[in-house]
Amino acid sequence: MLLNQYNTTMIKIAKETDILSYFKQAYGHRPHHYYGFFNSQFGQIITDEHYMMLPADDRTATRAHGVFDVLYLKKKCIINIDQHIDRLCNSAASVSIAPPF
């Protein structure tokens, strides 16, 4: 517990069990699986979900300096992959980001 600097109420520090409990309650017990996450610090794709994190000072999170796209899969195949790649490359060029490939 920490004393709130603006008043005398105490602020609780979240524990991992608190966080997991909250997300299970808020989003249900539906399993999610993420296959990969590109980490620009390492310049590699991370496949272990436990390490798919953004640093607190990441430009994507703090300045919205990033490029995003949604892929649609059908029977484990990406639908319209060429359009996705073109859209990502054009978006990256518009914000002066060189694609890693």
Residue 94 has pLDDT above 60, yes or no: yes
Please give the full DSSP string across 18-81, using - where no structure is assigned: HHHHHHHHHH-S-------EEETTTTEEE--GGG----TT-HHHHH---------EETTEETTH
Residue 4 has pLDDT above 70, yes or no: no
Instruction: For residue range 12-41, list pLDDT tens digits in order.
Output: 888 888 888 887 787 666 566 778 888 777
How large is the C-alpha radius of gyration of the chain? Answer: 19
Residue 95, helix vs strand vs coil: coil
pTM: 0.42
Give 82's pLDDT tier (boundaries 50, 70, 90): very high
Domain residue spans of the chain? 1-54, 66-101
